[in-house]
Amino acid sequence: MISRVLVANRGEIARRVMRACRGLGIGTVAVHSDPDTDAPHVREADVAGRLPGATPAETYLSAGRLLDVARAAGADAVHPGYGFLSENAEFARAVIDAGLTWIGPPPEAIAAMGSKIEAKKLMAAADVPVLPELDPARVTGADLPLLVKASAGGGGRGMRIVRTPDELPGAVAGARREAESAFGDPTVFCEPLLENARHIEVQVVADAHGRVWTLGERECSIQRRHQKIVEEAPSPAVGPELRAALCEAAASAARAIGYTGAGTVEFMLAPDGRFFFLEVNTRLQVEHPVTECVYGVDLVRLQLEIAEGAPLPEAAPEPRGHAIEVRLYAEDPARDWRPGSGPLHTFEVPDVDAEFAVPASHGLRLDSGVEGGGEIGVHYDPMLAKLIAWAPTRRAAARRLAAGLRGARIHGPATNRDLLVRILEEPGFLDGGTDTGYLDRVGLAALAAPLAGEDAVRVSALAAALAGAAADRAAAPVLGGLPPGWRNVRSQPQRRTFEGPSGQVTVDYYLHRGELVSELCPGTSLVSAAPGRVVLEHEGLRETFAVTAAGGAVYVDSRLGPVAFQAVPRFTDPSGRIAPGSLLAPMPGTVLRVETELGAQVAAGQTLVVLEAMKMEHRIAAPSAGTVAELNVAAGRQVESGAVLAVLADTEGTTG
């Protein structure tokens, strides 16, 4: 019997594992890097061990340090979560050699699936359908389009699409670099690209007594950069006959490698109904909650019980209803998925029915690794939380999930919340049209558009101004009881200026005989105004605006959509101005490569600098043609957000 588990991970999955342990009466040990010292998963554990440093390599990827903490804390088992060392066969062997229980599949099964190239050979021998493997050195035009893939690891890293012969060398080189950085193995291979295919995966659970469960399929086709953002169970494209075939293939795959514990067999489903093996994820999946909701199981609890030697019941449970999960990221889809970092002032999701667990009946589930008042760092994946809706039907689940996202108050870095809402409400999605080309086909420009339109931005700016004035009045020792905008003698209107989603918004207003007058929102009247809450009559409807000022920003949440503003000061310091033509770092990161030199002539869109941040490469391109007048970076250098990387001058030598 396991008595104390070290969770070799962080954030949301660490909290998820600890919840299952508490339900079984098992003690928990957390580990943390220096940036994670005050993280929720650290506070919730019975005991925590420090992993000195900040980067994954020196902390959560350090097998030796993890085992040192396990010994010091008296842990007798290790759960790896997902990511980091969860699919590292050497770490699994080290845990077992240390006399601890490994909560996962046998190291031999992990090793067998650790190389996608070798995994495909094993699956072909087990009569599981596979796509042909192509040697990058022997690819011809007839093989295109194709996908370059890293042999090790996953999560979309080390993957590139190639459609023309001249793209191949750069794609292979880029995939190798990313694979080496993420997994320590630069091996890549190619396979045919299935256009308009679906990403389908089957949840398997196997015990040490020869019994294998297959808990239906999940659809994970909506992806950005080959990483999933929306998952659901069951798939709208899979009927009973295809489901039986997929589950049979998944069970064959599990048996072929002697699998035990919870794992996932991934397939690509072609438009003609054929499916092909992708890989086996020898761990828990990020999207496991949708299966838990539909099948009424606790997959982490099953992992723990199987590790203790318990057999699975003879029959797997039957499915119930439909579940959809979205991954809420600190990133800006409209800006090439730029990841965000910094303070997370507010994180609130209303009407959540359960956290890290299946709701008692249909409802909304939240699995989150962050809390309001925390910090989003630059060293790890930018996922904030997973929100899951479980309902009797697919459309009901989509509606419930969209409502939960719309009502969430998220103040801090930009997120993909608006994109997720638009996907869940898009007619093609509701009709089940969710292949891997979904974002390109529907159009990212439309899907990433803010929920708040131009009119909503204007009235939200007015609400922000009124709330700010109310806050000033409340703080004034004499005039605290007067309404915002009140003046003894009216001459000039009250004025506040904000930097909004599409540029500056100037709010001029005053109160005339108790009536609100504003050219920005003519006809809008004031019902009440307090520092955190403003009620306006707008276009014949009473609208309530929650206003939060934090860190120089003003966040306005309402039925019309969330809007974030930056307050523009009346007077600015000229010394703080940035020279025209400056290329700024969009996020903190490490300079991987500098692809230009001082004095070079560059074209619009040409890559000048490549940064690595949050496990991904980010290209900084020239916004226009010009000459590199300043170059302030070198490979390997750490840069902060807003740092001037380079300055471009036009062809006459003028910056700008």
Residues 466/467/468/471 CA torsion (nearest 10 deg) = 120
Return all residues near 45 (Cβ < 8 A) that are at least 6 apart: 7, 18, 28, 29, 30
Alpha-helical segments (H) within 443-596: 444-447, 454-475
pLDDT of residue 259: 98
pLDDT of residue 649: 87
pLDDT of residue 624: 86
pLDDT of residue 481: 54
Domains for the chain: give ranges and CATH numbers: 4-103 (3.40.50.20), 132-192 (3.30.1490.20), 198-447 (3.30.470.20), 460-567 (3.30.700), 576-649 (2.40.50.100)
CA 610 to chain CA mean position, Å: 21
| Beta bridge mates, 280 | 265
State the DSSP H helix or E strand holding residue 243, giving kind and residue range, or none if neither.
helix 240-256
Whether 106 contacts 43, CB under 8 Å: no
pLDDT of residue 485: 52
**389 backbone φψ class: left, alpha, beta (φ>0; ψ -120 to 50):** beta
pLDDT of residue 511: 86
CA distances to 216, 331, 363, 600 from 605, in Å: 45, 22, 46, 14
Whether 215 contacts 646, CB under 8 Å: no
pLDDT of residue 28: 98
pLDDT mean for each 10 residues of the chain (656 residues) = 98 98 98 97 98 95 98 98 95 98 98 91 95 89 91 80 93 90 85 93 98 98 94 98 98 97 97 95 97 98 98 97 98 93 96 97 97 93 96 98 98 97 98 95 95 97 96 75 54 87 94 87 96 97 97 96 92 59 82 88 89 75 88 84 85 54
pTM: 0.88
